[in-house]
Structure 1
Amino acid sequence: MAMTPAESQRAYRERIKARKEAANLAAYQVFNTPFYEALPEDHSYSSDFANAFELMGIPTPEFSDDRGPEEFTLDVGAKDDGFFDKMPGSLGRAELMVDCLLAAAKDLASHVSDHKKSEIKARLAEIETSDLSDPEIRKAALKDVTRLNKMLDQLDKQVRWTFPQWKVTG
């Protein structure tokens, strides 16, 4: 019996997914040495990685064995959602950590930007409602308005950071 278009499409997507998974497995079979063994011995206490976590007041993650991200997660549902299906071991944990840190940084940057915008707009509103009859006060207020509007323009822009590529595919 012939397949319906929906069944045909579903089968096609499953074949594509299987090919991608096979290619990813083939790509990761290249890495024989576990990631934790390739790190310098002082990476967890004398590196930019460790310094960044210390500045944030967060304990520096250590890579002392080849356990994967599923051993460290606090989100019990993440195991069922397929977050740990990509790369096993300490290398998979490091890759997931990069992805999570980027997502967290983007979200936090958005919240900080929104807060700053609302505060700047509040200062602009204060200037609009203030008494500007004195020429000196008006001159200072116009200077502040210009400065605050420049700050708003800066916050409306996107920034780009460059990173070494950390993901590979087969």
Structure 2
Amino acid sequence: MALSNAERQRRHYERRKAAAKVTSDATELTRPFLGRPYCAFVGSDSDWDQVEIPLRLAGIEPPRFDDDRGPVFAPGLEGLELPTHLTDSVGRAELMVECLLDAASALAASINRYKRAEITEALSNIRRAAGNAAALTDADQLEHLLERLNKRVRWSLPEWKVKEG
């Protein structure tokens, strides 16, 4: 039986919580050395537009760090294991990075499934109507596209959470 979205989220956060128990976040150890709060840094960060512009292009309102509060969770997340140890703006920002990465990965997977289904359907139609050279060329191109969709991509990110151990 297929899992509901809430159940998938619950399991995802349970896995994340279990992984966090194995290796603690060393950022907690560095907090005493972080002089000013992250929200004060963001206000003077000359590269902050590199966060705002891509989010606005994606139709997402960029986060505001007007104070040093931790994450505020939207209604409808009842039953999920929500992090309670994040109590300041840097913790809120770290959680945002993780959530955006999770969302980007899930969206990429959805797009991949869509393209695979559409290309497979087109390939099936071409094979049924096969007979001319142009159709075979199209089939070869579609096969190549399916092979490309089998690949994974990697993005290089600066380290934002340091784990002990």
Greater Cα shift, 46-55 or 89-98: 46-55
Matched, 1:77 2:74: no
- SS at the partner of 1:39? helix
Per the alignment, residue 28 of structure 1 pairs with 31
TM-score normalised by the chain length of structure 1? 0.73
Per the alignment, residue 52 of structure 1 pairs with 54
Per the alignment, residue 152 of structure 1 pairs with 146
Question: AA paired with 1:122?
Answer: E
8 Å CA contact 1:66, 1:89 repeated in 2: yes
Q: Structure 2: how far apart are the matches of 1:145 and 1:108? A: 27
Structure 2: give runs of 5+ residues left out of the alignment: 1-20
User: What is the count of residue pairs matched by the alignment?
Assistant: 144
8 Å CA contact 1:35, 1:66 repeated in 2: yes
Q: Structure 2: how far apart are the matches of 1:76 and 1:119? A: 33
Higher relative contact order (CA 8 A, sep 6+): 2
Matched, 1:63 2:58: no
Matched, 1:165 2:164: no
Structure 1: give runs of 5+ residues left out of the alignment: 1-16, 133-137
Matched, 1:143 2:143: no
Q: Structure 2: how far apart are the matches of 1:124 and 1:142? A: 10
Question: What are the superposed Cα offsets for residues 43-68 of structure 1, whole Å, 9 maximum, x if unpaired?
Answer: 79x71211112112121111111111
Q: Structure 1: how far apart are the matches of 2:62 and 2:161? A: 22
Question: AA paired with 1:61?
Answer: P
- SS at the partner of 1:158? coil
Aligned in 2, Cα 1:57/1:75: closer, same or farther, shift over 3 Å?
same
8 Å CA contact 1:27, 1:168 repeated in 2: no
Q: Structure 1: how far apart are the matches of 2:62 and 2:134? A: 47
RMSD: 2.7
Question: What are the superposed Cα offsets for residues 103-157 of structure 1, whole Å, 9 maximum, x if unpaired?
Answer: 000001001000000000000011011152xxxxx11111111110110011000
Q: Structure 1: how far apart are the matches of 2:107 and 2:59? A: 16
- Identity, in percent, stands at 35
Matched, 1:121 2:117: no
Q: Structure 1: how far apart are the matches of 2:54 and 2:73? A: 20
